Structure 1
């Protein structure tokens, strides 16, 4: 990676966008900003750059997503699977074809959103399920470690619960705060950032406060229905990005 003005500007914009998503939706849509970073660096380097920055975003976001916004019963079910999933993701990162994981996750996400659309796009409240929560946590741990795309599995569990918008965002935020803290060290071991990457990381820290704050302001302007529709829309974008990453990898 060359530390040029173009690289700094593009990376800064990508981190700002990811921070904005963290402030607006609690996290889980980091992959939306990764295409920008991929313009100036390879995806693995981008992953190493983002891993510590995610922690900074999480700490800043906790100013807004306080303990009163956390769904503790759901987190108690989700977090054990997340921890195990990150460990499995670390192993799979070294041995498994990442394109397969991306395509599978994209297909499952598109089916989930398609069923919601066919059902009239309504927020249908379903009961909490331990097996579904553990599965969602496990899948999110694997995909967040492999591709920084842990949002879809978590959203597929939380959205049907019909949580209030603050509880949804706060629970998502804390979930990824734990996950990002755990996966930072494995990512840094895999990538081993250069001096230029560390310098770029320090510069991009400046994009985080404004990005998270503006996202939080947007969250305050959306009602629950609008927030949920936005989340489903972002799931489609995320799934299409994953699908493109997987398929294009075979065509390259």
Structure 2
């Protein structure tokens, strides 16, 4: 089997490992950061093509590990909303500037963390939000769109789920199966647009063991980390993700 460019592999290994750990144990969080990291050494479209099959592989491992521990009503509306979101992403990515949406999602992510911090400190006395099918459908559509254009659907889903006061495991399981569904939706339009090539497939073959290892490391970390620390890490990942989305859009 041919070996990809060693420089590409050197960058891909930590990026894919980080994505696997993030998706495997801490929601989708900052897993999208693997794509811009890879974009340092390959074209952005190539980076998207490399990451999607690897993210789908991580999804399979993670969903199996958290099987049926999700919040089913949230899963249904998020995946249902994700379908038009992916379709909108496939269309608008060809005709509109996705940076506007990156800034919006990034700003909302930072605002949500500030809101949760204010509640935790007692500055705001607001109870957890009740499950809302309409809000869930809108969140799923937003996640489907941002996931399509940059694999960055994690922040809106995190805001929707954490806002309901879920436990860390229910949050993780719900996130895992939601993006399992959304990533499957993305595969067909990606294939039609020619995102997958012999180059991306070769790199995926080399990176598959790294992705699986990252997923299992994330699952192991999820079991060890106390709930309070888990959500603290999740908020840090949201801040990182939101800031990176804004930075990518502005630069």
TM-score normalised by structure 1 residue count:
0.91
Contact persistence 2:29–2:241 (CA under 8 A): no
Alpha-carbon contact 2:112-2:159 (below 8 Å) kept: yes
Q: Are the structure 2 counterparts of residues 52 and 5 from structure 1 closer, same or farther at C-alpha, using a change threshold of 3 Å?
A: same
Q: Which residue of the partner structure matches residue 222 of structure 2? A: 219
Name the structure 2 match of 1:105: 105
Mapped partners of 2:127, 2:217: distance in 1: 29
Partner of 1:151: 154
Alpha-carbon shift at residue 121 of structure 1 (Å)? 5.5
Residue of structure 2 in register with 1:117 after alignment = 117
Deviations 1:178-236 (A, max 9, x none): 01111012123334333222111111111122111111111111122111121111111
Distance 1:243 1:24 in 2: 25
Residue 12 of structure 1, CA deviation: 2.2
Identify the residue that residue 96 of structure 1 maps to in structure 2. 96
Unaligned stretches of 5+ in structure 2?
A: none
Q: Structure 1 stretches of 5 or more lacking a match?
A: none
Q: How does 1:3-152 map to 2 (within 5 A)?
A: 3-67=4-68, 69-120=69-120, 124-152=127-155
CA distance in 2, matches of 1:31, 1:121: 30
- Name 1:170's counterpart in structure 2: 173
**What SS does structure 2 have at the residue aligned with 1:33?**
helix
Change (3 A) 1:191 1:121: farther
Deviations 1:144-164 (A, max 9, x none): 011110001101100011111
CA contact (8 A) 1:92 1:146 kept: no
Deviates more, 1:52-61 or 1:81-90: 52-61
TM-score by length of 2: 0.92
CA drift of 1:30 comes to 2.0
Distance 1:193 1:181 in 2: 14
